[in-house]
Amino acid sequence: MTSLIRLYVTNKLTNGIEVELTEKQHHYLVHVMRRELGDEIVLFNGRDGEWRGKLQILL
């Protein structure tokens, strides 16, 4: 079992939103942490708590 990756974003986090990752964040998740389509991650911004997200599109 892999642990959930926590990723800092600047977006306001609320239920049902989509967050577009930066090129660096994408590289980190896909090439460094080897995450794949459908994997869950935890997003946080320092204001709105932690939110679970799912990778939907990998380019």
Which CATH number does the domain housing residue 26 bear? 2.40.240.20
pLDDT digits (tens, 9 = 90+) for 2-45: 789 999 999 999 999 999 999 999 999 999 999 999 999 999 99
- Is the pLDDT confidence value at 1 over 90? no
How confident is the model at residue 3, as a pLDDT?
A: 86
Distance CA 28, CA 16 (A): 24
Residue 54: name the closest of 28, 29, 22 by CA: 29
What range defines the domain where residue 49 resides? 5-54
Residue 40: name the closest of 51, 25, 27 by CA: 51
Q: Domain for residue 37, yes or no?
A: yes
Distance CA 55, CA 41 (A): 8
